[in-house]
Amino acid sequence: MAERTPSLDPTDWNALRSQGHRMLDDMFDYLERLRDRPVWQQAPADVRAKFQTPLPRTGSDLAGLHDTFMRDVLPYAVGNAHPAFFGWVHGGGTPVGMLAEMLAAGLNANVGGRDQIPVEVERQIARWMAELFGFPAGASGLFVTGTSMANMIAVLVARHRALGSQVRDAGLAQLGQGLVAYTSAAAHDCIAQAMDLTGIGRAALRLIPLDAAYRMDTQALEQRIAADVAAGLRPFFVAATAGTVDTGAIDPLRAVAAIAHANGLWFHVDGAFGAMAMLSPGLAPLLDGIGLADSIAFDFHKWAQVPYDAGFVLVRDGELHRATFAAVPRYLRREPRGMAGGSPWPCDFGPDLSRGFRALKTWFTLQAYGADRMGEAIAGTCALARHLAHEVGKRADLELLAPVALNIVCFRYHLRGRNMDDGDVDDFNAALVADLQEAGIAAPSLTTITGKLAIRVAIVNHRSERRDIDALLTGLQMLAARRLGG
């Protein structure tokens, strides 16, 4: 019988230590000098080809793999750590979050449950969030991948409340007839996806029209609920958005809460990025009414700058939340003593059993910077958005396409007087955004605002400064002149 093969740990810890320090230093260098790099560059074909090789049967040297990472991976990421990254809604991360993620990986805690302090860290963050949003002591919170998953968990808790615990056995086929839900036409598609994945179906989701400020029209909501009730349907859930993905608009949360609760509906808030505006005393009043929610979904990985991924769901009625998911199979028995204590466990509040220690990087971030400084970073991005909107307003060739509610600015080159049709104008703006991304100068993305293609600048990153906004505008101007003059 051969000896047991050696473990996967190194034989020479000192060599690993030096290599580890080199890896850490490279990431500090990367973060320190972000602005010297292009925001994004497309990976050349020969680099892409290196990721087509077969499963390695034998190991390679760590230093060589690190070199490959530095050469072939790091330069070709999407670049959301960069201060001039303004696409979609991406957080920038922080060096503190990076270090905490390393500690979490070293500890390798499985935060599904059991009696351990990593679970307490997650519970502490749930309590902090309950405090921030004015939720009662019985509220529950859970880390998940992102707001897409958090929204789906909220739909499941609302479904449980509407149909009772028998839905867990009987399912929707027997019990779910006529369930309908509501959100605005500007809601993120993951709300519709949650309807799909939970078996309620996309068709059961009413998309309520918007008012002039791109918020849910609450009169239309009220009328639609009344019409559905009159038709014998069963309204059960309304999702308002605090910070829509297109324009950053905030639905009238207090009014939606009143309508939801008057009709016996679950009131959910998708606050993916916008909910974190609560950290800024200046912005928090914009979220008036968020504390009335039955559940809130949001991400620490967007405006709160925690490295990916760190989504969160907060539920007012923690017992209902637990009852939606809890099941104790024989191999997950809870005990009064020993490691199987400390029930309920995080796995009782969602579909995941094995779970990483997302709480640690969030805990470090909130403690190292403090809530006030996080709030200032958030408010700073809104100030930059106002600066950009102001600059857009000063230029005759640009037009603002939506009011700036928070940190998102939508505008375009209108090209009036150039004898171009709507499609040509859209194509021009789309080409310009691609030009800008490929030039590595700045990275906005695109969306459509009332039928017009918009250059969409979402300022989420704590590193962004006025000079990055000015570089975006200068870059756009240069590239537009090239296209128009050429």
- Residue ranges that bind ligand PLP, judged by CB under 6 A: 89, 146-148, 188, 190, 241, 243-245, 270, 272-273, 299, 311
For residue 194, give every residue at least 6 positions away whose Cβ sits within 8 Å of its Cβ, in sequence order, or none: 148, 151, 152, 154, 155
Q: Nearest residue by C-beta to ligand PLP?
A: 146
Of 89 and 472, nearer to ligand PLP (C-beta) is 89
Distant-in-sequence contacts of 156-159, Cβ < 8 A, 24+ apart: 156/198, 156/324, 156/325, 157/266, 157/294, 157/295, 157/315, 157/317, 157/320, 157/321, 157/324, 158/236, 158/237, 158/266, 158/268, 158/294, 158/295, 159/198, 159/200, 159/236, 159/237, 159/324
As measured in angstroms, the least distance from the Cβ of 354 to ligand PLP is 20
Nearer to ligand PLP, 68 or 193 (CB): 193
Min dist. Cβ of residue 188 to ligand PLP (A): 3
Minimum gap (Å) between residue 429 Cβ and ligand PLP: 22
Let me know: does 202 contact 192? Beta carbons within 8 Å.
yes
Rounded-to-integer distance, Cα 283 and Cα 98, Å: 27
Name the phi and psi angles at 112, rounded to 5. Answer: -70, -30
Which is nearer to ligand PLP, 245 or 283 (by Cβ)? Answer: 245
**Pair of tokens at residue 431:** 């080409």
Closer to ligand PLP at the Cβ: 188 or 206?
A: 188
CB of 109 to ligand PLP, least distance (A): 22
Residue 298 CB, shortest distance to ligand PLP, in Å, is: 9
Minimum Å distance from CB 463 to ligand PLP? 19
Q: What single DSSP character describes residue 270?
A: E
The nearer residue to ligand PLP, 225 or 458, going by C-beta atoms, is: 458
Rounded to whole angstroms, the Cα distance separating 346 from 58 reads 38
Q: How far is the CB of 90 from ligand PLP (least distance, A)?
A: 9
Compute the least distance from the CB of residue 146 to ligand PLP, in Å: 2
Helix (H) / strand (E) element for 192: namely helix 189-197
Nearer to ligand PLP, 104 or 272 (CB): 272
Alpha helices, H only, 51-140: 62-68, 95-107, 117-133
- Tell me the torsion sign for CA atoms 160, 162, 166, 169: negative
Residue among 77, 70, 60, 75 nearest 22 (CA): 70
| Residue with Cβ nearer ligand PLP (408 or 433) | 408
CA 223 to CA 182: how far, in whole Å? 12
Token pair, residue 155, equals 């739909």
Q: Closer to ligand PLP by CB, 239 or 366: give it.
A: 239
To ligand PLP, the closest distance from the beta carbon of 89 in angstroms equals 4
C-alpha 128/C-alpha 26 separation (Å) is 34
Minimum separation from the CB atom of position 268 to ligand PLP (A): 11
Residue number, 263 or 445, with CB nearest to ligand PLP = 445
Amino acid at 308: Y
Q: In Å, what is the CA distance from 277 to each residue of 144, 184, 356, 375?
A: 20, 20, 26, 7
Which is closer to ligand PLP, CB of 243 or CB of 344? Answer: 243
Smallest distance, Å, CB 382 to ligand PLP? Answer: 15
Cα(276)–Cα(382) distance, integer angstroms: 13
Residue among 408 and 441 whose Cβ is closer to ligand PLP: 408
SS3 456: strand
H/E run at residue 384? helix 358-394
Neighbours of 351 (CB within 10 A): 11
Q: Considering beta carbons, is residue 274 or 375 the nearer one to ligand PLP? A: 274
> How far is Cα 390 from Cα 400, in angstroms, rounded to an integer?
9
Is 465 strand, coil or helix?
coil
Nearest distance from C-beta of residue 274 to ligand PLP, angstroms:
7
